[in-house]
Amino acid sequence: MGNPFQDQLLKAGLVNKKQASKAKRDKHLNRKKNKGEVPTEISTKARQEQAAQAKRNRELNQQRDKEKRQREQKAQVRQLIEQNRLELDDRGEAYHFVEQKKIMRIFVAEEMIEQLSRGQLAIVTLDGSYEVVPAKVARQIAERQKEVVVALQKK
């Protein structure tokens, strides 16, 4: 039960049996090969969608990494302040400093006022309150979050 057109060509003597079977085999292989293929229009669209999805994923990963670095920096700043803050003296002298065009004050020991003025100590903010830390620590904090350092005198 072959192809009627092929049978006619064989009977007419235009092709031999070997050529007819080769054509049949080639046709079968082409069908088998094309069965798994997606038309090129669809495959290019799919590739474009994959590329767009990969780009979105990269952007999201970059954003997550940036947010993670910011959280880590905030945690490092908090840790630096909490480990290095000096005790404030409520009964001590008032030290005045400027923050966002406002004059603020904290009460510290008399020797701390001198060190603040000389740039050996600095004032930083943590959770809305002010803390005094050594200048070296304040510079480390400024590298991570500049806005946290409120008052640091230049030497």
Count CA within 13 A, CB hemisphere, residue 63. 6
Q: Tell me the mean pLDDT in the region 86-102.
A: 82
145-148 contacts, C-beta under 8 A, 24 or more apart: 145/73, 145/74, 145/77, 148/77, 148/81, 148/124
- In this predicted structure, the answer to whether residue 135 has a pLDDT above a threshold of 80 is yes
Distance CA 56, CA 96 (A): 50
pLDDT, tens digit, for every residue of 103-127?
A: 888 888 888 888 888 888 988 988 8
Residue 67 phi/psi, 5-degree rounding, is -65, -40
In a domain, 45, yes or no: no
Domain contains 65:
no
* Cβ neighbours of 34 (radius 10 Å): 10
pLDDT of residue 29: 82
Question: How many independent structural domains does the chain possess?
Answer: 2
In a domain, 64, yes or no: no
Question: Tens of pLDDT along 2-46?
Answer: 677 777 777 777 778 888 888 888 888 888 776 665 566 778 888
Residue 87 CA to residue 42 CA, distance in Å, equals: 70
What is the span of the domain harbouring residue 32?
4-36
The answer to whether residue 56 is domain-embedded is no
Asked whether the predicted pLDDT for residue 67 surpasses 90, the reply is yes
The answer to whether 64 and 135 are in contact (CB under 8 A) is no
Number of residues written out for the chain: 155
Give domain status of residue 80, yes or no.
no
Whether residues 32 and 90 share a domain: the answer is: no
Q: Report the pLDDT value the prediction gives residue 39, as an integer from 0 to 100.
A: 63
Q: Is residue 13 part of a domain?
A: yes
Residue 119: DSSP 8-state:
T
pTM (global) more than 0.85: no
10, 15, 20, 22: CA torsion to nearest 10: 170
Residue 12 lies in a domain: yes
Cα separation, 58 vs 51, in Å, equals 11
Residue 110 lies in a domain: yes
**Residue 111, both tokens:** 């020797």
